[in-house]
């Protein structure tokens, strides 16, 4: 297993490709960001899409986002096992092809139902863009070093949710909503070319797994049988589900309930920008204090702020001045939770990192997307459904983390191998 964080990533397939750590961080962030662009870039266009296809139900507009999220979660089961067999690069290239091709088809969708079907196909096809980077990173990093690198990537990655609504809004100022999809395809093509030219293959030949039913059936359930992993995967699915609920209903909540529709891209970007700040802070402190101490502290604080969200929604329901800083606080804390939860959950897996990343992404994304759709559909013209969802999901997440940690929080294990052996479910 790797023992030191490398400053450059070298190819494991005999090719001469080498990428420096800084460029590697930027490239992995760009790959992962395409998924966020496919979600948040749509938000300003939801009204125009609904008007084009005659959709009267305001909550049904959200399905352009919700269907994509759910399909991406289900699709996450597939690419990891293929990446463990054929390598990381090939699977990434297939995902890029889906992203570009289906984006262009979405631009010419003849009906709203056809658009939703295409978005579902796109979500399944591009799931590798979210799954494979975690496997690539696990090929070369482990433990708190992996958590620090993931946090560094998240700093760049989280610029996209800040800018994506503005990206969509800028296109809408000069063209109709189909060109938002065309713009997505163009950006994905650029990242595809960058990946082809610069990313080395990181899966060693001796670590490649056979692609057959027995291997897939064995590798994918490993997460469920590993106690230290499953609580963190389900816990992150719950907290991100609450955030997906915010994303699904954000345009209605900010534009209609709070009456700030013209400022929506800026308000959404302002709240999301706190994720980049916290990811930067996490990358600087996680190796000193440990992924568990940092993420557990963030989760407890998240619960406190969520309780404040409930109070604000009940007694100051029309106060945008209260909602924005509280929502920014919730999103900020995800920067201390997401990368750390993910690195803790991936720690037990090395040779099967692709399958583990697939299983964990499937659980996290499917759970999060289902919750996000449900929370979004509960939107009743107030911030109350979202506030109660934030509190309930974070409390359940804490219970799951306590399960993984056998009731003890804030502990940084000294002997990682012994710790993992003690916490495996047999």
SS3 label, residue 182: helix
Q: Place 217 in a pLDDT band, splitting at 50, 70 and 90.
A: low
Convert the pLDDT of each residue in 53-112 to its tens digit.
Answer: 999 887 888 889 889 988 988 888 788 778 888 889 999 999 999 999 999 999 999 999
Question: How far apart, in whole angstroms, are the C-alpha atoms of residue 34 and residue 379?
Answer: 27
pLDDT of residue 210: 75
Contact 356, 219 (CB under 8 A): yes
Question: How far apart, in whole angstroms, are the C-alpha atoms of residue 383 and residue 166?
Answer: 23
pLDDT of residue 3: 45
Question: How far apart, in whole angstroms, are the C-alpha atoms of residue 421 and residue 96?
Answer: 38
Can you read off the two tokens belonging to residue 258?
């709070």
State mean pLDDT over 131-154: 76
Q: In the predicted model, is pLDDT for residue 147 greater than 60?
A: yes
Question: How far apart, in whole angstroms, are the C-alpha atoms of residue 360 and residue 382?
Answer: 33
Cα dihedral 342, 270, 255, 304 in deg (nearest 10): 60
Question: How far apart, in whole angstroms, are the C-alpha atoms of residue 354 and residue 230?
Answer: 16
SS3 label, residue 317: coil
Buried b (16+ CB within 10 A) or exposed e, 302-319: bbebbebbbebbeeebee
Helix, strand and coil in the chain, % to nearest 5: 80, 0, 20
Q: Place 394 in a pLDDT band, splitting at 50, 70 and 90.
A: very high
Q: Outline where 41-87 has alpha helix (H).
A: 46-53, 63-75, 79-86
Convert the pLDDT of each residue in 306-334 to its tens digit.
Answer: 999 999 999 998 999 999 999 999 999 98
Give the number of other CB atoms < 10 A from CB of residue 12: 18
Q: Place 383 in a pLDDT band, splitting at 50, 70 and 90.
A: very high
Convert the pLDDT of each residue in 274-308 to its tens digit.
Answer: 887 887 888 788 878 888 999 999 999 999 999 99
Q: In the predicted model, is pLDDT for residue 196 greater than 50?
A: yes
**Helix (H) or strand (E) segment spanning residue 19:** strand 18-20
| Helix pair 291-315, 264-289: axis angle to 10 deg | 150
20-204+215-423 maps to CATH 1.20.1250.20: yes
Handedness of CA 144, 132, 390, 392 (dihedral sign): negative
Q: What are phi and psi of 316, to 5 degrees?
A: -140, 55
Q: Quick one: how far is CA 120 from the chain centroid?
A: 17
State mean pLDDT over 164-193: 92
Can you read off the two tokens belonging to residue 142?
């482990």
Can you read off the two tokens belonging to residue 389?
């969802």
Can you read off the two tokens belonging to residue 3?
């023992």
In this structure, the chain runs to a length of 426
Residues 6+ apart with CB under 8 A from 179: 107, 171
Pick the closest to residue 147 from 424, 408, 344, 330 (CA basis).
Answer: 344
The model's pTM is 0.75
CA 133 to each of CA 28, 99, 146, 208: distance values in angstroms, whole numbers, following the listed order:
6, 16, 12, 17
């Amino acid at each position: 297993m790797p023992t030191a964080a490398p400053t450059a990533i070298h190819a494991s397939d005999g090719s001469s490709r080498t990428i420096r750590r800084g460029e590697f961080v930027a490239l992995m962030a760009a790959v992962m960001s395409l998924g966020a662009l496919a979600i948040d870039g749509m938000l300003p266009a939801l009204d125009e899409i609904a008007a084009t296809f005659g959709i009267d139900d305001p909550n049904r507009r959200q399905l352009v986002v919700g269907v994509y999220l759910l399909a991406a979660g289900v699709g996450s089961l597939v690419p990891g096992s293929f990446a463990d067999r054929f390598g990381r690069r090939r699977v990434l290239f297939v995902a890029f092809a889906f992203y570009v091709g289906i984006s262009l088809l979405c631009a010419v969708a003849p009906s709203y139902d056809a658009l939703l079907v295409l978005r579902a196909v796109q979500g399944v096809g591009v799931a590798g863009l979210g799954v494979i980077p975690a496997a690539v990173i696990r090929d070369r990093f482990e433990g708190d070093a992996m958590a620090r690198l993931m946090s560094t990537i998240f700093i760049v990655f989280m610029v996209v949710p800040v800018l994506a609504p503005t990206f969509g809004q800028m296109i809408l100022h000069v063209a109709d909503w189909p060109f938002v999809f065309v713009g997505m395809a163009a950006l994905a093509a650029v990242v595809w070319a960058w990946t082809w030219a610069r990313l080395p293959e990181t899966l060693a030949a001796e670590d490649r797994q056979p692609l057959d039913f027995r291997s897939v059936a064995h590798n994918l359930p490993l997460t469920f049988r590993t106690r230290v992993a499953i609580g963190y995967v389900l816990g992150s699915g719950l907290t991100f589900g609450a955030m997906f609920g915010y994303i699904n209903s954000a345009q209605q909540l900010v534009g209609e309930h709070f009456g700030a529709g013209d400022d929506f891209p800026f308000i959404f970007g302002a709240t999301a920008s706190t994720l980049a700040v916290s990811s930067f802070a996490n990358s600087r402190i996680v190796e000193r204090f440990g992924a568990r101490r940092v993420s557990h502290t963030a989760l407890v604080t998240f619960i406190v702020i969520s309780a404040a969200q409930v109070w604000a929604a009940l007694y100051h329901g029309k106060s945008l001045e209260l909602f924005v800083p509280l929502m920014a606080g919730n999103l900020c804390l995800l920067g201390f939770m997401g990368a750390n939860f993910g690195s803790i959950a991936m720690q037990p897996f090395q040779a099967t990192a692709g399958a583990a990343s697939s299983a964990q992404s499937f659980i996290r994304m499917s759970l999060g997307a289902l919750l996000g759709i449900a929370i979004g559909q509960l939107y009743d013209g107030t911030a109350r459904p979202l506030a109660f969802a934030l509190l309930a999901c974070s409390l359940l997440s804490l219970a799951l983390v306590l399960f993984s940690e056998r009731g003890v929080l804030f502990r940084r294990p000294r002997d990682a191998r012994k710790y993992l052996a003690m916490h495996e479910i047999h």
